[in-house]
Structure 1
């Protein structure tokens, strides 16, 4: 696992993975930028299993942490022209889960196949696939 993930993440200052048992692992990064790149870079899988993560605080037991949330980039298709605003994107993100941010590469105006937003999702809840947006900017569930 360590070799595969290190080859994908390419941490500049290295990393270690410790098996804690019960399908839990401790990931140790030796530079804060390496950790930041992995945490913000996407949702990750290993051998078709989702890697859920949590940054441990002092005195927190890794075996007791509830791992049910993940940050993920979501692609939004067919957003009507004129609806690409931070307010609308935040509303969509909060409908899906909890809005974190819009991709800085999203362009305002013009033609684009999709826009991306980053949201925190509860993996225990079903995915929401559709949402109706009214012209006035009022959001509805679809």
Structure 2
């Protein structure tokens, strides 16, 4: 190993290899492009997967899909509104496998995308009704990941049967079943998490992660 390191250290570019080529990024805004990856080692039938996703996403305008290999796919939308709507609907799945989506921005290369995060709508069950507030949702959600939204009214309350939050999660970790919350002088109370998605287990084979409890 040391010998290989020494040889690499002595490696030098040839005159031709050392020539820099100036390239210019397009002067347009970031295009409506999503890069997706299915969380499975099994080879996905991409043609069938795209056909299913078209019916699920129901984009107002058509979009193109290109198979990038390794269960990765590029979605090129005609409309940014369609792209943003698909992101809002995520996570998506095909054949019981989670589809991770990444919004491609200028200067990014597909090979550098980690595909380790995905947003989820999470229902928090068991809170006292008057504690179902935006502030509480932000506090609980911050222990899980980056909170994108709390489903509350203009006064900051959610008076339904549960509080709903949208959190960007690290999908390399198992999903949490709930949290202990302390309600002032009333002591600690357990609240359950229920994840919006499909009614089956989603197995991320590459990361040996089982994401269960998704409803």
Q: Please, what TM-score do these two structures have when normalized by structure 2?
A: 0.59
* Structure 1 residue corresponding to 2:165, chosen from 111, 117, 121: 117
2:77 paired residue number: 29
Of structures 1 and 2, the larger Rg is shown by 2
1:55 paired residue number: 103
Q: How far off is 1:81 after superposition?
A: 3.1
Distance 1:15 1:105, change over 3 A: farther
> Which one is further off, 83-92 or 69-78?
83-92
Distance 1:141 1:66, change over 3 A: farther
Conservation of the 8 A alpha-carbon contact between 1:24 and 1:63: no
Distance 1:97 1:113, change over 3 A: same
* Structure 1 residue corresponding to 2:157, chosen from 84, 87, 108: 108
Cα RMSD (Å) of the superposition? 2.3
Structure 2 residue runs without a partner (length 5+): 1-48, 191-215
Does residue 19 (structure 1) correspond to residue 67 (structure 2)? The answer is yes
Conservation of the 8 A alpha-carbon contact between 1:103 and 1:116: yes
Q: How far off is 1:123 after superposition?
A: 0.5
2:180 paired residue number: 132
Conservation of the 8 A alpha-carbon contact between 2:133 and 2:163: no
Distance 1:105 1:73, change over 3 A: farther
Other structure's SS at 1:54 match: strand
Q: How many residues align?
A: 139
Deviating 4+ runs (over 4 angstroms): 104-107
Structure 1 residue runs without a partner (length 5+): none
